[in-house]
Amino acid sequence: MGEEGPVGWLSERVGLLWVAAVLLYGVGDTVATLVGLSTASVAEGGPVAGPALEAYGPAGLIGLKTVVIGGFFIVWRLAPTPGRVALPLALVVTGGTVTGWNLFVIGTS
């Protein structure tokens, strides 16, 4: 018998959560960040992403995102509990939030 409630509902859609995580956190935030950085009045404020961008340019940001998503996926695969659905969900929420914030900053700069 499957998990009931929100965890069960999300667990049944975990594939879609991973797609949304990659699109929002991986693609959306990366593209919005790079577009924002192409304007003179916007700077990267992340304590890890900023130095990665300074040292390696866009490849540093893409590499960082790849490592984070890959790390979350590995932990998700190894986690035995139904609550593991929180891992892709965290990337979806974070990705949606920072992409929205980046778009707001771009639009108001």
For the chain, which residues make up each domain, given as ranges? Answer: 14-108
Is residue 38 within 8 Å of residue 3, measured between CB atoms? no
The pLDDT tens digits for 34-92 are 999 998 788 898 999 999 999 999 999 999 999 999 999 999 999 988 889 999 999 99
The pLDDT tens digits for 8-20 are 888 888 999 999 9
Is residue 29 within 8 Å of residue 102, measured between CB atoms? yes
Residue type for position 72: F
Q: How far is CA 48 from CA 54, 63, 80, 106, 108, in A?
A: 10, 12, 30, 21, 24
Burial of 50 (0-12, 13-18, 19+ CB in 10 A): middle
